[in-house]
Amino acid sequence: MRARTALSPLSVAFSASLLALVALPAASQDASGSRIVVRGTELRDDEGRLSCLLFAAADAEAFPRTRARAYAASGGRISGHQGQCVFSDVPAGRYALSVHHDADADGRVDTGLFGIPTEGLGASNDARGSFGPPSFSDAAFDYAGGELSLRVRVGYVF
């Protein structure tokens, strides 16, 4: 019978580090092949582009206005009063989407009197705000990975 030898703290630390290095590529591969497909519907016309922003829960306070803090951005052509945005390699988590019918394709939400948007806007869960944008919690959804298709109705104030 062989005697068991105790592992030194250095051996344990080395083994844990090696295991972490081996597991890291596997964890990052979990998101590959996963995607969120967003279909914006009820667009007023086929002008411009559909612009979509995906916000992670960690940046909930930035939703839906701060493009620079969005987890990812996507855009697509409009045809038949609808457009599509695709987000690829998205890890599982809690997210919210904002959708914008950028009718003049200038990359920003145009506003009129009192800052009221003149272009179409929407959010996941078809969340709507009263006297302002919807909250992250109203628009939030849990994403478990794989392929998820969402539909967002785009609305217009004017």
Summarize pLDDT for 20-43 with one digit per residue, the tens: 333 333 334 457 779 999 999 999
Q: Is residue 28 part of a domain?
A: no
| pLDDT, tens only, 110-152 | 999 999 999 999 999 999 998 899 999 999 999 999 999 999 9
Q: Is residue 49 part of a domain?
A: yes
Residue 69: both structure tokens together: 């803090």
Q: Could you tell me the pTM of the whole model?
A: 0.80
Q: What is the pLDDT of residue 30?
A: 56
| pLDDT, tens only, 97-121 | 999 999 999 999 999 999 999 999 9
* DSSP reduced 3-state for 72: strand
% of residues, the chain, pLDDT over 90:
75
What is the domain count for the chain? 1
Is 4 a residue whose pLDDT tops 70? no
Q: Is residue 30 part of a domain?
A: no
Q: Is residue 26 part of a domain?
A: no
Q: Is residue 27 part of a domain?
A: no
Q: Is residue 89 part of a domain?
A: yes
Q: Is residue 18 part of a domain?
A: no
Q: Is residue 53 part of a domain?
A: yes
- Domain with 70, as residue range(s), is 35-153
